[in-house]
């Protein structure tokens, strides 16, 4: 290829690249994530397993096609539960869905948390849920969502 066409080729590639970026939504908002339920799973093993219901809210007009998620639940700063899920339905624009995910408790950290709770006089317990939502889109990579709050101790 003659060298005189090289600047023209470069200009065309740059124009196409910028046009592709301009077509990406600029007002994309991160999905919201809430823990709406935690229950002990029935199991035949000695492993303490839970089912966690996560409500995923899509505040955008476009649907979100999720490939999977990784989540961590910490209570009072101690990582108690983590896990993954890969059977997640598509979430239509401006809608939400509740996803049930199975997880096993971290035994050592659960004992640490129990010991801390026995020594504590607090009436509430801080928690943090961190989830990485992986999408199938090349333009919208994985999104990390953090939700935190307090659990009342009655």
54 and 34 Cβ atoms separated by less than 8 Å: yes
Q: How many domains does the chain have?
A: 1
Identify whether 61 is part of a domain.
yes
- For residue 43, the domain's CATH number is 2.60.40.10
51-91 pLDDT, tens digit each? 888 999 999 999 989 999 999 999 999 999 988 899 888 99
Question: Whole domain around residue 102: which residue ranges?
Answer: 27-152
Q: Quote the CA–CA distance of 75 and 124 in Å, as a whole number.
A: 11
pLDDT at residue 139 tops 80: no
pTM exceeds 0.75:
no
Q: Where are the beta strands (DSSP E) in 41-142?
A: 49-58, 66-75, 78-85, 95-105, 124-135
């Amino acid at each position: 290829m003659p060298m005189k066409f090289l600047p023209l080729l470069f200009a065309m590639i740059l124009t196409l690249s910028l046009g592709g970026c301009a077509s990406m939504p600029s007002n994309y908002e991160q999905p919201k994530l809430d823990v709406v339920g935690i229950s002990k799973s029935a199991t035949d093993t000695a492993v303490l397993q839970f089912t966690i219901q996560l409500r995923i809210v899509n505040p955008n007009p476009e649907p979100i096609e999720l490939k999977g998620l990784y989540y961590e639940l910490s209570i009072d700063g101690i990582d108690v539960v983590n896990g993954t899920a890969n059977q997640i339905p598509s979430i239509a624009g401006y809608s939400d869905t509740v996803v049930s995910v199975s997880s096993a408790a971290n035994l050592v950290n659960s004992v640490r948390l129990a010991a801390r709770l026995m020594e504590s006089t607090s009436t509430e317990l801080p928690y943090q849920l961190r989830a990485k939502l992986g999408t199938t889109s090349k333009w919208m990579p994985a999104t990390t969502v953090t939700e935190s709050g307090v659990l009342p101790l009655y």
